[in-house]
Structure 1
Amino acid sequence: LHTGLLPSFPPSLLPSHCRYALGMQDGRIADDDITASSQWYETTGPQYARSEGDGAWCPEGQLEPSDSQYLQVDLGRLTFLTVVGTQGRYARSNGNEFARAYRLNYSRDGLLWKSWRNRQGNTVMEGNKNAYASVINDLHPPIITRLIRLIPVTYLSTTVCMRVELYGCPWDDGLISYAAPEGQLMMPPGYPIASLNDSTYDGAHERRRLFGGLGQLTDGVVGLDDFLLTRQYHVWPGYDYLGWRNDSLGTQGYVEMEFVFDRQRNFTSMKVHSNNMFSRGVKIFSSVSCWFKPRLIAGWEAEPVAFKTVLDDRNPSARYVTVPLNRRTAKSLRCRFYFADIWMMFSEISFQSAVNASTSDPPDEANTPILIGCLVTIILLLVIVIFLILWCQYVCKVLEKVRSPSGDKRLLPVSCSVIKYLTLFCFRLHVGSLTRSSQFDCRPAATPSSSRPRLCLETETPLSSSACGGGYAEPDITQCTPHQCFHSNAPHYAETDIVRLQGVTGSNMYAVPALTVDSLTRKDISAAEFPRQQLIFREKLGEGQFGEVHLCEAEGLPEFLGEGSPLPDRDGHPVLVAVKQLRADATSQARNDFLKEIKIMSRLNDPNIIRLLCVCVSSDPLCMVTEYMENGDLNMFLSQREIESTLTHANNIPSVSLSDLLHMSVQISSGMKYLASLNFVHRDLATRNCLLDRRLTIKIADFGMSRNLYSSDYYRIQGRAVLPIRWMAWESILLGKFTTASDVWAFGVTLWEIFTLCKEQPYSLLSDEQVIENTGEFFRNQGRQIFLYAPPLCPPSLFELMMRCWSRDIPNRPSFEGLYQALRPHVNQ
């Protein structure tokens, strides 16, 4: 790995010129700036990631495919990172370890972390093939960052060690984000379609607008004169430009962009590289006006800087337009670029500025009294809220005990009404603030709550139809106990204790009509007893509190099941099965729950639902054997593939077609239609819970929750992964209600996963807490809720179907029967 001096370069420099070592090996990056998630020994700590000789960073123990160990480097300032070099650890007889692949995460502020993707959307970079040779990887696109994490990736359990050098140059521009309208499609007659979107933007997409990130306008790649030609390989026409059509932005006639910087700066000029191919209706902007904001909490200054360009109708060359900014001081700029023709296209924007040495972003003195007043008000409100919550809990406890000495229950209707009112009051108060730490719980003291998430939930006892009417009907209040009043409009089959989403083996538990799972014994189980010695362990898929899920080979299973076996033809290969096994130390309640799960599974018989094949319950440990597919889960399958094209065929890249994706969608809707017909609620529908065979047949499964590989998909409470909040409807998160309608919401998210080829997590730019806050916006319904963006591969009619699945009002969501009928015509029979 090479070292070098670190000169300062202008931000508009091409990435090919910005390849200077940043100081890992020559010591300019201090030991304290190199950290790691773990280390194996004292001598393989993170500081040894830049050592010469035999040193390297090695994470603790064997690295598993599901692990996310990382080496973190703080570069000390914003940096234009263009190259990453890696080596392994070759310590002769003491070690021979290296990383065959790795991912990169980066952050400009140390708070928000982003995943790097190449221009084709892949996140994994090829690493080393041996322990001694270095591998240099150019970053296309480059990264603007201060902190970088290298995350080794392995597909087998192995030992990994890394040495690293980073290359780039200082990001003197200081720009940390820009906001702009999304780019658009240009469909000129006789020419290829040009997609003028910002495909490498690392911020958020909302309501056809980009904000909070950087992308192609700061990647150092200047577009060519002909915008249909690109400097990159394997990309589409128009790739190097971000462009807009005048009439698509209403009657305003301009494009508005905002730029945020790392600190307050004195701006000399702005340089905008703009296309000018006027023969196709593209020109540089006719004029621009820029407003300035000295601090982020201040308002925009009234006096803008205006600049009128000299239009050129003779030379079609793309060019830089320099806009003087008159040494104005600001931390944020808002610029309006006015159209001169039908289209306007930019490929790069940079700023010439100097850090304002006279200020270090002091707080706005004029607003200080207002801020203090706001803080005092918030503190007082918190005190009032805490008092009301404690009072509510006390009253609930007292009213639960209200009975006459003779056992007369005439006072119960009064108690019930009061509790219902207090519950509604606490719920509105809680959801209005969406403060998860407010410890809201408005239930009688007899209801256990220590393991529940502190969201606004209903109690765990489902209503019976005899007690409170069942279904969605409002119950007769005089027949309800105070404990049942919390269930006034919950469907009787909805499991409302969301902490118990996990079964005893860690897998998902279906919510089913309550009467189907009462008082089970061994004689209630119809599945055949399979000889457990014929199950050969291959891999542990996951685990729960009282059990585990294993991938096994089942010897002689087709012969055991006989005619009508649901197993596909294996051509002589061993039959793979998933085995859920109860631990020997499981409680009696866990054993009963396990038998309930067997009975639930035994009722399922559909081509697109995982089947229970047999059981081993004649002796401990109790086991249930279900189908497993050789292609694994749909998330892993799609994330390793690209959309079918001439390029994928020529290079033997694993791919899927749009028809394949639609076929998968239809099968999932068919399986969920079957579950809905039984009043079964899945509660964890996602691509990780859809298994795939070699013929692309999908079967919906239930053990994605137990797998460490997908632990980041679940919101953790007290260290347990229990809530798949990125797939959950708002009423499931805020009210604990799981119904077929909430499964429809999750189906919409699953469709979104499929048509993004599972390349990113839903709401990937939001933290778990922000996802929960977003569900509050759905509840308030004031138009501020954030939806998932339309995947580029997704037909508009299908995205419209997804949006219907995410309707705020439950009756407006389609049924699975309707979804199946809507999707089926899209598939070639």
Structure 2
Amino acid sequence: MIFCMLLLASLPEPSGTEVNPAICRYPLGMHEGTIRDEDITASSQWYDSTGPQYARLQREEGDGAWCPAGLLEPEDVQFLQIDLHKLFFITLVGTQGRHARATGKEFARAYRIDYSRNGERWVSWRDRQGTRVIEGNTDTYDVVLRDLRPPIIARFVRLIPVTRAAMTVCMRVELYGCVWHDGLASYSIPEGGTIAAPGFPIVYLNDSTYDGYHERRHLYGGLGQLTDGVLGLDDFTQSHQYRVWPGYDYVGWRNESFSTGAVEMEFQFDRPRNFTSMKVHCNNMFSKGVKIFQRVECLFKPRLIADWEAEPVGVATVLDDKNPSARFVTVPLQQRVGKAILCRFYFADTWMMMSEISFQSDMESVNPSFVTVATSTTGLLETEHNVTEGTWGTTSSVTSTWIGEKADDSNTSILVGCLVAIILLLLMIIIIILWKQYVQKRLEKAPRRILEEDATVRLSFYSYTIANNQTQIHQSNPTYERAFPLDLEYHQPATLLQKLPELSQSAEDSVCSGDYAEPDLTKSTPHQGFQNNVPHYAETDIVHLQGVTGNNMYAVPALTVDSLTKKDISVGEFPRQQLRLKEKLGEGQFGEVHLCEADGLLEFLGVSSSEFTHQPVLVAVKMLRSDVNKTARNDFLKEIKIMSRLKNPNIIRLLGVCVRDDPLCMITEYMENGDLNQFLSHREIYSKFAISNNIPCVTHSNLLYMATQIASGMKYLASLNFVHRDLATRNCLVGNSYTIKIADFGMSRNLYSGDYYRIQGRAVLPIRWMAWESILLGKFTTASDVWAFGVTLWEMFVLCKEQPYSLLTDEQVIENTGEFFRSQGRQIYLSQTPLCPNPVFDLMLKCWSRDIKDRPTFDMIHQFLLEQMESNI
């Protein structure tokens, strides 16, 4: 069996998926030593003991860092060079000074980055505003992490310290990212176009981060926005980035600029690859003349100096004139081998726009024999085999097929045997599990307890030095939690994260069935009760969080809806034909959320007659798919009944329904400025600089006012014993004059898919906003909403420019939840941000109290924020 597993592990795997910069943040090996000493070089060094091999983050070998020779002058270019041996997608850089066990005094206050993919042509990195210099360290010890926006794709990286005055500089560094599986080394494309319409902002569709050459309105030899991992929005005039122009996320071309009716792109790769598919993310805003390409044809060549093979791979797309959402289009490449691909994308309308292109390929199935034959000269082939250049494409493909079949025949019998053995083993395991469950269900109910297991501690090199008497310090000092904050920008994260042991079967059944005896959390101490016996997250209980469009808006423990019918719905039936679709906001497992215009809605609601009564009103429409099961329909009617009971100025109001025929719909308010996350992420805090540069901004008073409204809405829900379960800025809508209304659309939107963690393919959870008891015990209460409010408040005071716990993986977030359960001083808290005043951060810490009784109520939170607003006037 071990042999079978090794054989399966050795089978080739497809490589190349669209990269996600949010999770592509792994250390590349400076600290751990996987980057070898001989791969780290420098332009100079002061002594042998300060050579480049000592430039490893969080290491103290030699004299503690790399130091270039002599005093560094402002005009000097000294560099530390790292060879990664293959292409990497690099998103983050960490730097440190020369601490040398408290004897060092040197560090780099700023630095630049140059990079290369082949070691010959070097490119200077610039941020999205064109700045080359990156802010470095302020002392010799603390690690400073800086995001590279845009990220870089490179094999060689040089860090170049920058100084304003002559001084000694020393550095320790780490690079973060992931392997560039695409293998794409460059693409060449026509320069993007510009849309200029009278009365509208100019839309620039150029590749603004391209790092190759620009010549005669064509781009050569580089990479840019088509490989930066950022997908464009449905509306191409909007952008994920701040302080950029309309159209920034897309590269686009106009049909009339190309006589052939097609855009030609050439892609060159690091080595010959066996391509399975190409994925192209396209805009489809057909109302503005933009559609995905009509068809595409791709040619291949096995080496760069060869001719293009005669037989293309082509596919026609299915055009969609009903859904304006941007989407991926997958183009099968039929296992063709090549080191370069030439693709022609044919227009379907006036404009064609793309934001990302990725390739899926299988490196190990590129047979060396085939590559050798394919790269032989044509003259040699004509002499030995008497074939012409025109027939070579057929000969090479036959050779490839024959070699592949021979290799497959040699492994088929072994592979089949291994698969049969694995299937039999899995069947045995399933039978054992089912038998165990059957036996335990027959047992009489007995006091349940969580097995006492030893928690295994995983130490990360990003850990603080914690003294032996730390636990005593924590018990005697209630502000201990703030002594080690998670500062994502200037401090190293504390990561003594302990792995969560699994529940015993009986304990897991208890958690899932709801008949367990919950520990008294108000009486436990760090050395009592369940502190060292952390349960695994209660996924079976949590699965029921999912609803029609991704989330049931509110959990109502006291409400029974077993006999709920359409007669229980207290809002009116709105004429379906008076709804006009504008765009799709999101979708979930059972339905979709659309932004619509509702004609005659004010008259339908009985609003007093005015000149605006007959104007269409923007609304959000949650629509249930007509092919869903009875349970989903009942859940939808239940949600309608719940929402019809909510009457509060800070809660999204249910305006009407369409339930007489399918598809069932509920019509809710929609706010002019979208959700709070996008609203704040496109703004800066009020300053003279922001005002002088016409940058949208908010004041501290605006933030407090919006937070107070969220607290007011949650106070109302708590008074009805309603639990929201997904409170976050993405679920708060913004109207005029900073008015806020709480909604639930966030889970259904692809824009926020990174905020949710999928458990075993069944449910998605906003774990970065969830209280520890919600994850570990499946308990959702008003107190867990208070926890989420604290995280929402933190989002607001970073202006939604960062995800909570952005340097932790989802698994580490769950592990950190276990530390809150143990309460032994190892848990990681979100840090206080520069915009956040001390009283507000103290409120956040209270919201994140381990014991439920120590968390404030929404009534208390609302009153506190009102007082803060008054004192801020």
Q: Higher relative CO (CA 8 A, sep ≥ 6), structure 1 or 2?
A: 2
Length-normalised TM-score, structure 2:
0.48
Give the TM-score taking structure 1 as reference length: 0.50
